[in-house]
Structure 1
Amino acid sequence: MRATEVTINNKDNSYNQHMHVLVCVEPTYFKNTENYVNQKQWIQFWKKAMKLDYDPNVKVQMIRPKNKYKSDIQSAIDETAKYPVKDTDFMTDDEEKNLKRLSDLEEGLHRKRLISYGGLLKEIHKKINLDDTEEGDLIHTDDDEKADEDGFSIIAMWNWERKNYFIKE
């Protein structure tokens, strides 16, 4: 499982896109020196794969459940999936700055898959019939079909010429 996270440096307003990767390994992986890939090797692998002229930051660790009632795998998935973009990292008291940051995020992350599954986790994802992360229903996430009777709907449509949303009457 791979989750892409974007953080911002508030000093220079630069963005840092990085990945959190969950790799399923045999329980003996961290004890087996024959197949174990150490920190220095991971750095060299990433440096070569990304064609970098510097050593990237790479942190490899075993994830353990924080909640004794959750399975190890569920805890690991929860930990990895929480990362993509947290609004509290981007929003400030400056509305103009917020709009610029949101515009940058929209442009930079357009058509990007922030969470993806592979191998064992892809099989588990299919078995438990999770919605597709791109096409799934993000509105109706539970079986409760009750609507707030005092609520109302606002529909915003994207205007490609103006590159902005407009409220549909």
Structure 2
Amino acid sequence: MRATEVTTNKLDGSYNQHMHILICVESAYFNTKGAYISQEEWTNLWQKAMKLNYKPVVHIETVKNKKRNQEIEYTAIEAAVQETAKYSVKDADYLSGNLENDLEVVKDLEEGLYRKRMVAYGGLLKEIHKQLNLDDVEEGDLIRVDDESEEDEKAYSVVAHWNWAMKNYYIY
């Protein structure tokens, strides 16, 4: 599973795209000689793949289940999936209170992220996604998520957005 996140630098106005990736491996991966890829090797592989002239920041960690308890293991994996897919852009990262600046940043993000797949599934997680009959992240219906018809909905829609800095929802 891969989720792309974009952050903004308030000091220089630059944008930073990075990825959160969850990789499922066989348990033998950690014990089999030559199978395990170290942090340094991941960094070198990423640098080579991206043809970078600098060492990129690569942070790898294992989803741990220290107590070998199946319920805790499920919770740890669920938390890892949630963390990976949490958000693509945090509004607290780019909303400054300066309307002109905020509109420019939103415009940049809209143009830069247009038609970009921000979340993608592969391998085992793709199979699980399919088995659960989950909506497609890019093409799915994000408005109608239940069986209610439009006629049943005689009310109006309200769009609210979570603001992490203010720890509250804002209605648009």
Could you say whether these structures have the same fold, taking a TM-score greater than 0.5 normalized by the shorter chain as the test?
Answer: yes
* Residues 64, 75 of structure 1: 8 Å contact kept: no
2:3 is paired with a residue of what secondary structure?
A: strand
The whole-number CA distance in structure 1 between the counterparts of 2:81 and 2:95 is 26
* Residues 2, 19 of structure 1: 8 Å contact kept: yes
* Residues 8, 90 of structure 1: 8 Å contact kept: yes
Range 23-32 or range 37-46, more displaced: 23-32
Counterpart AA for 1:77:
V
TM-score, with structure 2 as normaliser: 0.78
Tell me the equivalent position of 1:106: 110
The whole-number CA distance in structure 1 between the counterparts of 2:14 and 2:135 is 33
Tell me the equivalent position of 1:87: 91
2:126 is paired with a residue of what secondary structure?
A: helix
> CA RMSD of the aligned region, Å?
2.3
2:96 is paired with a residue of what secondary structure?
A: coil
Tell me the equivalent position of 1:166: none
Aligned residues, how many? 151
Tell me the equivalent position of 1:34: 34
Instruction: Give the deviation of 1:144 after TM superposition.
Output: 5.9
The whole-number CA distance in structure 2 between the counterparts of 1:152 and 1:118 is 34
* Residues 3, 115 of structure 1: 8 Å contact kept: yes
The whole-number CA distance in structure 2 between the counterparts of 1:137 and 1:38 is 40
CA distance 1:47–1:69, shift in 2 (3 Å): closer
1:53 is paired with a residue of what secondary structure?
A: coil
* Residues 39, 58 of structure 1: 8 Å contact kept: yes
Tell me the equivalent position of 1:46: 46
Tell me the equivalent position of 1:167: none
* Residues 2, 115 of structure 1: 8 Å contact kept: yes
2:29 is paired with a residue of what secondary structure?
A: coil
* Residues 6, 17 of structure 1: 8 Å contact kept: yes
- From 75, 79, 87, the counterpart of 2:79: 75
The whole-number CA distance in structure 2 between the counterparts of 1:97 and 1:147 is 37
* Greater RCO, 1 or 2 (C-alpha within 8 Å, sep 6+): 2
2:20 is paired with a residue of what secondary structure?
A: strand
The whole-number CA distance in structure 2 between the counterparts of 1:39 and 1:12 is 30
Greater per-residue helix proportion: 2
- Once the two structures are aligned, what percentage of the paired residues are identical? 52
The whole-number CA distance in structure 1 between the counterparts of 2:12 and 2:107 is 17
Counterpart AA for 1:45:
L
The whole-number CA distance in structure 1 between the counterparts of 2:34 and 2:108 is 44
TM-score, with structure 1 as normaliser: 0.80
- From 132, 135, 140, the counterpart of 1:136: 140
